[in-house]
């Protein structure tokens, strides 16, 4: 029997702009998915297409138990975390000797198949390796880890990444003179953020600017705006949606002493709040017993 876990992720800066070759900054977060795999003569009935595909690809049979601290379909990379933790547990239980790179790559292929070609390699990479990651269209690179005090607010509004990506694509086609400079400005914000990790106040301000630019691209949502305003009013340095938008989650960067107050302001809006920070481990073996 092998138990592994893998973390979720947030986009700190640059979502949507990465689709146009601009840099993005993503970070693994503390909430995790835990998966236990036990070899067996047959694979137990599986409802999740991700789990089925993990067993099928690695050509093994057994039973699986999944426990998640991440709400699914919230934009926090829960499907990637499930897939990476499952591949890691199978790798361990069956002694397959896959490297972390192979696990990240296989995880991405599985996500791509299940999501019909629309998966993001960022989610599986960040979940496998943890930490702070600079994302470009072609590559993902680890940045020095930073202990950012974050509060996540989950609107509970379902969101559809493909729909949001298409929405931006339509705007780029129909109004290039507006959309392209907005995407260029998101790039400048991400570049400035890369130089500002020592200065939480500045990072918060950059999040506010990034939020305004994402709203200009039409990927905001009233429920996200409500949480962003509530977090700022409660003393956050800045706040923005994270991921595809149109629902899902927002993040706020806070003075450490105000994390609880910001979380309270989010729950007062009937949303789920998660106080968190960076996860530097990525996929890890869990001790059981």
The nearer residue to ligand MEV, 159 or 259, going by C-beta atoms, is 159
Q: Is 18 in the site for ligand MEV (CB under 6 A)?
A: yes
Burial class (CB in 10 A: 0-12, 13-18, 19+), 204: buried
Q: Which of 15, 187, 215, 279 binds ligand MEV (CB under 6 A)?
A: 15
From CA 60, how far away is CA 92, in angstroms rounded?
12
Of 9-17, 172-180, 250-258, 272-280, the segment contacting ligand MEV by CB under 6 A is 9-17
Cβ 156 to ligand MEV shortest distance, Å: 17
Site track 208-247 with ligand MEV (rule: CB under 6 A), x = hit: -----------------------------------xx---
Among residues 92, 101, 123, 208, the one annotated as catalytic is: 123
Q: Does the protein bind ligand MEV through residue 120 (CB under 6 A)?
A: yes
Judged by CB under 6 A, the chain residues 137 through 176 that form the site for ligand MEV are 161, 165
- List the one residue out of 42, 76, 11, 55 whose CA is nearest residue 273: 76
| From 5, 83, 122, 124, residue interacting with ligand MEV (rule: CB under 6 A) | 122
Q: Is 3 in the site for ligand MEV (CB under 6 A)?
A: no
Instruction: Assess contact for 111 and 87: CB atoms under 8 A.
Output: no
Please identify which residue in 6, 13, 16, 265 interacts with ligand MEV, judged by CB under 6 A.
Answer: 16
Whose tokens are 């789990």? That residue is 51
Query: Is 25 near ligand MEV (CB under 6 A)?
Result: no
Instruction: Give the burial string for 217-246 (b: 16+ CB within 10 Å, else e).
Output: bebbbebbbbbbebbbebebbbbbbbbbbb
Q: Which is nearer to ligand MEV, 123 or 208 (CB)?
A: 123
**H or E stretch at 224:** helix 222-233
Closest residue to ligand MEV, judged by C-beta, is 120
Name the residue nearer to ligand MEV (CB basis): 35 or 249. 249
**Cα-atom radius of gyration of the chain, to the nearest Å?**
19
Cα–Cα nearest to 26, from 9, 39, 44, 41: 9
| 123 has catalytic annotation | yes
Assigned token pair, 31: 């909430």
CA atoms in the 13 A half-sphere facing the CB of 88: 28
Q: Would you call 18 helix, strand, or coil by DSSP?
A: helix
**Residues taking part in catalysis:** 123
Residues of the shown chain interacting with ligand MEV in the complex, contacts defined by CB under 6 A? 11, 15-16, 18-19, 75, 120, 122, 161, 165, 243-244
């Amino acid at each position: 029997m092998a138990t592994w876990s893998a973390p979720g992720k947030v986009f700190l800066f640059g979502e949507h702009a990465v689709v146009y070759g601009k840099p993005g900054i993503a970070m693994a977060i503390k909430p995790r998915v835990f998966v236990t795999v036990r070899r067996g003569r047959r694979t137990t009935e599986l409802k999740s297409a991700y789990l089925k595909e993990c067993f099928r690809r690695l050509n093994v049979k057994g039973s699986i138990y999944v426990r998640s601290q991440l709400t699914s379909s919230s934009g926090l990379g829960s499907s990637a975390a499930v897939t990476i933790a499952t591949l890691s547990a199978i790798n361990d239980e069956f002694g397959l000797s896959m490297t972390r790179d192979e696990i990240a790559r296989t995880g991405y292929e599985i996500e791509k198949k299940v999501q019909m070609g629309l998966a993001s390699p960022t989610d599986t990479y960040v979940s496998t390796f943890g930490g702070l990651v600079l994302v470009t269209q072609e590559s993902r690179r680890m940045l020095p880890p930073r202990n950012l005090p974050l509060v996540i607010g989950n609107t509970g509004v379902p969101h559809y990444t493909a729909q949001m990506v298409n929405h931006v694509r339509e705007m780029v086609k129909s109004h290039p003179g507006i959309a392209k400079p907005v995407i260029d400005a998101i790039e400048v914000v991400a570049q400035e953020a890369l130089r500002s990790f020592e200065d939480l106040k500045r990072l918060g301000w950059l999040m506010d600017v990034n939020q305004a630019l994402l709203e200009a691209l039409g990927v905001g949502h009233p429920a996200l705006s409500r949480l962003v305003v509530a977090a700022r009013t409660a003393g956050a340095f800045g706040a923005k949606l994270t991921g595809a938008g149109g629902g899902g989650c927002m993040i706020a960067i806070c003075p450490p002493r105000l994390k609880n107050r910001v979380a309270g302001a989010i729950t007062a809006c009937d949303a789920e709040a998660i106080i968190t920070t960076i996860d530097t481990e990525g996929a890890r073996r869990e001790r059981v017993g």
